[in-house]
Structures are given as C-alpha cells and as structure tokens.
Structure 1
Amino acid sequence: MQCTGSAALVTGGASGLGAATARTLAARGARVFALDLPAGVETATAAGGVADGVTLVPADVTDPLQVRAAVEQVTASGLPLRVAVNCAGIAPGARVLSRSGPHDVDLFRRVVEVNLVGTFAVVVAAAEAMAAAEPGADGQRGVIVNTASVAAFDGQIGQAAYSASKAAVAGMTLPLARDLASSGIRVVTIAPGIVDTPLLAGVDEDFRAGLAASVPFPKRLCRPDEFAQLVAMVVEHDYLNGETIRMDGALRMAPR
C-alpha cells in the first residue's frame, strides 16, 4: 500500500513516536491527521514543530465520541483513510505493594483505559471508515498499526498495569486481523524496546547510558524515527498481517 493520495490517522501525534510517524508518513505523500490531547496539541503548535502535511487534532482516545469526530474530520478531507497508527499511551509505574501502600486500582484501570481501550476505540472507528472506501487493485483498503512494548513480554517490577495493557494490545492483533480480513484491512503491532522519547527527557546521562548498555546490539536507545521507519515498511509491505514485531536490538528486560 502506498501513502500517496491517502489520509493517515496517528494518535499521540504531537510528540515522540507519534510525531515521528506523522512526519514520516507525510513525507511519503499521505495527508496526516495527528491526534493528541489538547495540551499536547497546544504545546506542539506553540513550538512550531508541526511538519508539512500534518494537521494536529485535539482528541482524547478514551472518548469514543471524540475519536469518531476525529475520523469524520479525516474523511471530510476527501481522501480515503488508508492508514491508522496508534501511538498514544501512558506508562506510570507502581508496585503491587510498596512503602507508600498497595497499588491504586484506579491507576491500573486508567492505564488499561488509555493503552488498550483507547487503541481499540481508534481501531473500530478507523476500520469502519476504511471499510467504506473503495479497495485497491488487490482488494486492500487499509492498514492499522498498533503499538505494544517489550514490556508485554518482559514486564519489569512496577509494570503490572503497563505490561497488562501492552500484552493485551499484542494479544488482540491476530483476532483483529482475522476480523478485518474480509474488509481488506491489515492489522500489525510493533513492540518497541527502549525508545528515546520525551518520557526519558528528565533522566540523567548516567541512567541513560545504563539503559543503552543493556541493549545487546546496537548499544544505544532506539530513535523515534526508526519506529516511524518500521511503520512505513509495514504500510508498504502488503503481506505483513496479524503479526507483532519486536523492535528492541535483541533486548530482554531484566526484572528491574
């Protein structure tokens, strides 16, 4: 599938993985609609870092009505929605039992709501729009790329909520692909390792170096543009479907 002449939807698109993905898809000819929370959209707009071909759209992925309104904005552009990429997510850490007390069940619920339910809400709305479009010559109408994490498989101490949410994203990949096969829509999940995103902006250099040293090869953090490069490859590789791809430099996370 080619991006040229199509619309793409990217969540978490104001920064980090989402922003890199939005830029890459726009450079390949897509008209990109980058969803993010209003505060994130305001920050990105004020910084002047929005790429050509990218429109920032304020929306909360946990609100199905906002997601549907965003998809309607995409289809109103007159271009078929062919690509949807879910990058929105949160990663608070908390042990089940700690000195500050037991794990907050509401925090667990919030992580699952954003990372899993939010992803699914976008999948449903995007798939509906894709299914209504004319298929390509091979019957393909679109591709959905979701974001899991190596924490789905190697969850560390304090990652019960995050690991559960990302394992569920990986786990629903095959049934989603099977559900949407009759509509000509592919579904693939990427499970990145340690990516150098704004989430790591506040850590010191020694800690960052330690993270990089834990990666077998190459011994560095993953760059957001490498994630975006893989998204573009998935979009263009029509035989990739129903798969979760680890992108981690052979990293297997230690307990802590």
Structure 2
Amino acid sequence: MFSKLHLQTKILIVSMFLLLSSMGGLILSVTINTVFPKNVAIAENKSPIQGKNPISEKAEKKQEDMKEDKQEEIQKDMDKDVEKDKAPDKSEDEKDSVSYVVGKDIQKGIYKIFATGDMGTYKIADKKNPDASDIMFFNFAYVSLKNGQTLTLTSSTMVSEANLTPYSDKDYVDGQYKVGYDIKAGTYKIKPLSGVGKIEIHSNLSKSEPDVIKYVEAPTTIKLKNKQYITITNVEMSR
C-alpha cells in the first residue's frame, strides 16, 4: 500500500515519522534528567557543591582578629610616639628647679641662697601672690620666709641663717650682703666697674621692693647701718 502512494506523500510521511521520533527522544531525555539529576551532574563532569568547613572559617577569623589586634597595638605605639614628640621638653632650668613649702618642708626664717653658677633665680609664692615672678640674683642673696609660702629655687641651693658663716673675702663680688654680719656698718666707696652699676638697700626682707635703688655711673659713697641688706651689681665697693 505504501508503494502505491505518491512520492511527495511518501516524503511527507517519512518526515513526520522522523519528527515524532526526535520529539520522543527529547521527552525521554528531559524525563531522565528530572528523575536522575545526580547522573546528569556526573555525566557532565560537574563537581558536587560542597558546604563551608566551620573549622576552617574559625581559623580564618582568628587569623583576621590577630591581624587586627597587631594593627591596633602598632597604632597605639605610633600614637604614643607622636604624643611624646608633641610633648614639650622641659628646659634645663625646669629640671634644675626645686620647691619648698614653708612650715612643711622647711621652717620659717631667714635663709641665704647660693647660685650654683654665677647666677640663679628664686621665687616666693603664697595665696595672695600665687603667680609670683622669678627674681634673678648673682652669687648669693638673702630671703625671709613665712609659713604657707612656697620657695622655688632654680640653679640654686640654700642655707638657714643658723648654719651660715659670714662673708670673709677681701673683694666684694656681685651679690647681697648683711650689714653687721657679712660687712661692717659704716661708709663705703662705690664706683662702677664698667658702664653703669647698681645698688639696692633693704631694711626689711619681707618687703619685695628695696628702700633704696641707686644707679652708679660715677664714683660715690654710701652709708650703711646694721641689719640692712645691700645688693651690689657691677660695682666695686671698698671702705
């Protein structure tokens, strides 16, 4: 019967048969892949998906934490170095300063202070004058201290009046002298060593300002009384 059909009809039948066969094969393949997905993965050489290892994750996190801790420590050290660089260095004067509270560290009274070099400074502060200024002196000077005051010495040392010995050198250098103790009362000749000299006389050391301030440009004389304190600067003094 098939041989009696027209040629075009035969071709059409064969084509339809091949088409149906192809569709059947495709349907079968999809069905197999749906039912057996593992086989498909193996056939396509696909590696099965693996979950993350919790132990490995913990180790990695620990390493990251250690790195962060090290970075923090390094940063802290760097910050300390920066702060150290920013901090102002103490001057030599500040390093060489010492303070005494009168009535606690030392007793009240009169003290003689000595410069460790040619020159030193001292400061006497109290509640009324907490920001007292430094007073510069040459070689040695006297101070009178009361309870509650604070004496700050820079490049200086001090000796209490009870432990003092009188000035004994023949030449009077720059400094402060107690009349009747270091030098005798009487009339003294004064002349500048070079340029202008200066003398100051205190009757009471508790007063910040001297009773007499005199600038010496030419030879002159000065009369001194017992218990006065005379400070000479850049002058020659003789009897």
Q: TM class, shorter-chain normalised? A: under 0.3
Highest CA radius of gyration, 1 or 2? 2
More helix by share: 1
TM-score (norm 2): 0.23
Structure number with the higher strand fraction is: 2
TM-score between the two structures when normalised by the length of structure 1: 0.22
